[in-house]
Amino acid sequence: MKERQLIFMDFEFSMPEGKNSPRNFYPEIIEAGIVLIRNGNIEKQFSSYVKPMAFPKLTQRCKKFLHIKQENVDDGMPFHELVNYLKEINDGTSQNKIITWGNMDIKVLRNNCQQAKLSYPLQGEYVDLSMEYKRFFGDRNQTGLWKAVEEYGKDGIGKHHKALDDALTTYHIYKLVEKDKQYLQKASPPTIGDRVDLSKLYNLLA
């Protein structure tokens, strides 16, 4: 049986400008950050800009928000090479655990593969860590990646909206949440004194 591996992914996407954007616009992956974990250790890190296919020119909004220059994506890897890399790190079984913060990374990857007529490259269990975080802490709303780090009293890794830094930060939060889960599982069961207010019982017997 192959060893289970964790794949942390973060993608940055192209953005429409607004009312002047084409009606058929769809977000494309323009930067990829991937962290592969085996036996609790970082096995591989991957970072690259990705050249958009359908809408090659970035909007001003996109460049300003992500601090990505047009020449960055012009010199980026073709999308099919990113898909090939994901196929390469995929072990071909359901033993992968693919972890993202939010569900947009998977949705955009699937759509981009469909648009490019490429087969989807990953297999395994998908985990939206933002939803796990929400359920674990009982939050009403989903929390942003770097806000979640701050709530833990920690610092994010590198720069926000830098794909590899966000993937590493997601891995960082994953370890913190898993540690808290283990702590709760190992906690001692409550005693009868924890469950019952004994002072009220003593008063009744007095």
The pairing of strands 41-51 and 6-13 is: unpaired
Q: Which residues contact residue 180 at a Cβ distance below 8 angstroms, ignoring those fewer than 6 apart? A: 136
What count of other Cβ atoms lies within 10 Å of the Cβ of residue 105? Answer: 25
R_g over Cα of the chain: 22
Query: How high is the pLDDT of residue 160?
Result: 82
What count of other Cβ atoms lies within 10 Å of the Cβ of residue 124? Answer: 19
Residue-range domain boundaries for the chain? 6-201
What count of other Cβ atoms lies within 10 Å of the Cβ of residue 122? Answer: 18
- For helices 129-137 and 163-186, the axis angle rounded to 10 degrees is 40
Exposed, middle or buried: residue 196 (CB in 10 Å: 0-12, 13-18, 19+)? exposed
Cα separation of 111 and 118, whole Å?
A: 10
Q: Which CATH superfamily is domain 6-201 in?
A: Ribonuclease H-like superfamily/Ribonuclease H (3.30.420.10)
pLDDT 10s digits, 105-145: 999 999 999 999 999 999 999 999 999 888 887 766 777 88
Cα separation of 92 and 191, whole Å?
A: 48
User: At 205, is the pLDDT very low, low, confident or very high (cuts 50, 70, 90)?
Assistant: low
Q: How far is CA 46 from CA 38, 99, 141, 143, in A?
A: 15, 15, 31, 25
Cα separation of 30 and 14, whole Å?
A: 6
197: pLDDT strictly greater than 70: no
This prediction has a pTM of: 0.83
pLDDT 10s digits, 75-92: 999 999 999 999 999 876
State residue 78 phi and psi, 5-degree precision. -65, 150
Rounded percentage of the chain residues whose pLDDT exceeds 70: 83
Cα separation of 127 and 2, whole Å?
A: 20
Catalytic residue positions? 12, 161
pLDDT 10s digits, 5-37: 999 999 999 999 988 788 899 999 999 999 999
